Amino acid sequence: MMFRRRAVLFTALAIVLPGLRPSRADDYPNRTIRYIVPFGAGGPTDVFTRIMADELRKVLNQPYVLDNRPGAGTIIGTSEAAKAAPDGYTLLLMSATQTTVETLSPNKPYKLMRDFVPVAALMNSELVMVVHPSVPVNNLKEFIALAKAKPGTLNYASSGIGSNYHMAAELVKNLAGIDIVHVPYKGSTGARNDIISGQIDMMFDSVPTMAPMIEAGRVKALGTSGRVRSPALPNVPTLAEAGLPDYSATIWLGMMAPAGTPQPIVDRLNSEINKILARPDIIEAWRAQGAVPLIMKPDEFGAFVQSEIARWANLIKANGIKAD
């Protein structure tokens, strides 16, 4: 009789427990979600993250904390996220910068595709290549010709080694076969001020930030970095149109979570994020800021991140780029 009771109990547990296993994911979320942003507060990256976090707050019915952890080229914030519990209550903002850091800093305490799982892509935005009006060129071909005629004399600014602005210019160097000098800054503000004042010859910057400067004649635009022309600068050709057919380098953002985060939670977040990104009001608002929503499934975003790591690794090695 005792053995029969035990058999009945084990049978009942076998039926009930599979249904209980995903309960923690089914209850998700039931408390505050923390978004780690490995950049300083107030920049374009922070703005887009805050918009998405606020929209998720509405649909998930839970508060959020935006935790800005800048420093060491995104390593500080990304390291903090890698140590978090894999329960869906800590998410990491991902960007193109982290994919370059993967190669530039091989001894950092994490590896992106080992210590994180992809959740969702967020947005994509073009950059624009500009020169100071004193530089005697009016288009990309003339810039390349000048750089080849005077190797090592032209310079360009970036917001730091491994940044989107840095890699965008290095790709021009690589594809055009030119020698121009990199001047890294601790952020884009100083670089922007110095190209406007004429201390810097060229730089890449975000389209929304630089468009008013182009319209005012304070800088000259040579091309945008996406595959198609920017709606904000319709008269400026892409760099691919202007003479570098294989050129493409954009700012993109996405979300990742610590490795081990339950797949049902990842799928729920991905679904909610993609619904938000598909809304006409979000599409229009982001378009006005020079951004296009990116809608991907987790595996698609993971493949995209892996391809970006490989792509920039090849450029970093080809151009001999070293971290500070």
Global pTM reads 0.85
Mean pLDDT of the chain: 90
**Token pair for residue 175?**
């594809």
- In this predicted structure, the answer to whether residue 2 has a pLDDT above a threshold of 80 is no
Q: Residue 187: what pLDDT?
A: 80
DSSP codes joined into one string, 19-58: HHTTHHHHT---S-EEEEESS-TTSHHHHHHHHHHHHHHH
Q: Residue 159: what pLDDT?
A: 87
**Token pair for residue 324?**
């500070």
Give phi and psi for 255, each to the nearest 5. -120, 140
| Structural domains of the chain in order of their starting residue, each with its CATH number | 11-124+251-319 (3.40.190.150), 127-242 (3.40.190.10)
Q: Residue 58: what pLDDT?
A: 96
Q: Between 26 and 75, where is the model more confident?
A: 75
Order of strands, sheet of 220-224, starting from the edge strand that comes earlier in the sequence:
181-184, 155-158, 202-206, 127-131, 220-224
DSSP codes joined into one string, 197-256: HTS-SEEEEEHHHHHHHHHTTSSEEEEESSSS--TTSTTSPBHHHHT-TT----EEEEEE
Mean pLDDT of 242-270: 96
Mean pLDDT of 113-126: 96
pLDDT, one tens digit per residue, over 27-65 is: 899 999 999 999 888 777 878 889 999 999 999 999 999
pLDDT, one tens digit per residue, over 62-82 is: 999 999 998 888 999 999 999
- In this predicted structure, the answer to whether residue 16 has a pLDDT above a threshold of 80 is no
Distance CA 79, CA 81 (A): 5
Mean pLDDT of 187-197: 91
